[in-house]
Amino acid sequence: MAGKGGTGKTTLSALLIKYLVEKGLTPVLAVDADANENLNELIGLSVETSLGDIRERMKTETPPGMAKRDYMEMYINRAIIEASGFDLLVMGQPEGPGCYCMANTILAQVMEGLARSYRYLIVDNEAGMEHLSRLNLRKIHTLFVVSDPSIRGIVTAARIADLTKALKVEVRNKVLIVNRVPKDLPAALEDQIQEVIQKTDLLFGGCVPASDDIFQSELRQESLLKLPANTDVVQVTKRIFDKFL
């Protein structure tokens, strides 16, 4: 999931977890790669340790005689939050002052090996694309680029799709999802969507309606995994995921 901040990437990530688990397409590893780290709140899980915490501790706390890779691998496995049908890992804080390339290299290697144990790897990305490089994700089956219902959001989505080429990330499908769309889509916005689809390699996934059900669930701090199957937003996202996964 990629897109500018505030478009609802995390909400759609939670709905994608719900979709995969209910379809039996498990096991799933979800990675919250946003420094704001709130995917866990939308799926009803508590976080004690993030990968950022582990990386920072590795700089000073690796026991004598223990390889840094072994230290990091041990604590990454401890940081996995296990749930029914899926696990969650939280990237957490960005890197502190000063580069620590060894830690990031080890992190990428461990994550690559860990991902092989899962059928699906979902990455809820931050507003930028840096975590794709940091996690060593060079091949992506589907990049969902999420926009809000605004001209600026659609233009930003097109730029993100182009950025994958500069990062040399191989993506099979780049899919535009316009999220939180009002009942009547403005003609100007519809025209902008069509223009972007024609000028880029983005495929149009569809429009996800603004949802009072999600709003109420978040107010009650309830997991989105509990949303009923007949909820409009669940049905719409299911059709999108059916088409591209």
- Residue 228 sits in a domain of what CATH number? 3.40.50.300
Which residue type is seen at 64? P
Total domain count, the chain:
1
pLDDT per residue as tens digits for the range 184-197: 888 999 999 999 99
14-28, 37-51, 71-85, 118-132: the lowest-pLDDT one: 118-132
Q: What are the distances in angstroms from CA 76 to CA 55, 109, 128, 140?
A: 10, 12, 23, 22
Do the domain assignments include residue 173? yes
99-103, 141-145, 224-228: the lowest-pLDDT one: 99-103
pLDDT of residue 152: 92
The whole-number average pLDDT for the span 207-236 is 96
Could you tell me how far CA 141 lies from the centroid of its own chain?
13
Q: Are 139 and 164 in contact, with CB atoms under 8 Å apart?
A: no
Do the domain assignments include residue 208? yes
Backbone angles phi, psi at 116, to 5 degrees: -65, -20
pLDDT of residue 101: 61
The token pair that represents 73 in the structure block: 């691998």
Do the domain assignments include residue 4? no
User: 170-181 and 139-147: which strand pairing?
Assistant: parallel
User: 81-82 and 86-90: which strand pairing?
Assistant: antiparallel
Do the domain assignments include residue 150? yes
Do the domain assignments include residue 169? yes
pLDDT of residue 115: 83
pLDDT of residue 136: 61
pLDDT category at 172 given cuts 50, 70, 90 is very high
pLDDT of residue 181: 95
The token pair that represents 170 in the structure block: 């191989």
pLDDT of residue 96: 55
pLDDT per residue as tens digits for the range 51-108: 888 877 887 888 888 888 888 888 888 899 999 999 999 987 655 554 446 666 766 7
The whole-number average pLDDT for the span 204-223 is 95
Q: Are 158 and 196 in contact, with CB atoms under 8 Å apart?
A: yes
pLDDT category at 138 given cuts 50, 70, 90 is confident
pLDDT per residue as tens digits for the range 37-55: 789 999 999 998 888 888 7
Looking at per-residue pLDDT, the higher value among 117 and 134 belongs to 117
pLDDT of residue 104: 63
Round the average pLDDT of the chain to a whole number and report it. 88
| pTM of structure | 0.91
Domain of residue 138 covers 9-244
Percent of the residues in the chain that have a pLDDT greater than 90, as a whole number:
58
Do the domain assignments include residue 2? no
pLDDT category at 236 given cuts 50, 70, 90 is very high
pLDDT of residue 57: 82
Asked if residue 127 has pLDDT above 60, the reply is yes
Do the domain assignments include residue 3? no
Do the domain assignments include residue 23? yes
